[in-house]
Amino acid sequence: MKFIKSTFAVMIFAVLISATITFAQECEQKGTNTASGSDDPVGTKVEGGMLYGKAIDPTVKTISYPELIVGMNESNGNIVTVKGTVSEVCQAMGCWMTMSENGATTRVKTLHEFLLPKDVAGREAIVTGKFNITEISEDDARHFNEESLNPKKSEDIVGPQKAYEIEATGIIILDQAGK
């Protein structure tokens, strides 16, 4: 009986170790681009800045963020490449950033495929991804607010919210001189 209990305990331990290794490999394969032992995202040095995510096609015309806002209805549902100023970055993981100008704010989401440094607000960025005019739930709006560096009062967020979003495939955070 003692042998059966020992064997059972060893089997349970082996299953737990196996599950832990499998989970670690899945997280590594997800590609969150963080340095080993660090929460800091690792980008790829490119001319003029640091690339996070996939390379941006240099043959695609880059428009300014104000141009995107003026032509937002024509851009809805299309892949765009936009240059603008980062106004905010998710403080939980670096999984989104925003661009804002003249009262219009667009959330640039990495879809957790890659992460951004949390301290790049105020820097210029070039973003490629699918632009969408959409509506987010009150819960999602509150979630984004909680991850913000300067959250609003949560009671001010009521009901579904109209949202401008870019599902980014690549983002270049420009060097200070890269403006």
Please state, as a whole number, how many other Cβ atoms lie within 10 Å of the Cβ of residue 145: 15
* Single-letter amino acid, residue 115: L
Q: In terms of domains, do 7 and 89 share one? A: no
Contact, 110 vs 116, CB < 8 A?
A: yes
Arithmetic mean of pLDDT, 163-178: 89
Q: In terms of domains, do 45 and 92 share one? A: yes
The structure tokens 């060893």 sit at 10
Q: What are the φ/ψ torsions at residue 25 (nearest 5 degrees)? A: -65, -40
Residue numbers of the domain that contains 119: 32-178
Q: In terms of domains, do 51 and 105 share one? A: yes
Residue 24, pLDDT > 80, answer no
Q: What is the pTM of this model?
A: 0.73
Q: In terms of domains, do 69 and 25 share one? A: no
**What is the tally of structural domains in the chain?**
2
pLDDT category of residue 71 using cuts at 50, 70 and 90: very high
CATH number at residue 104: 2.40.50.200
Q: In terms of domains, do 11 and 43 share one? A: no
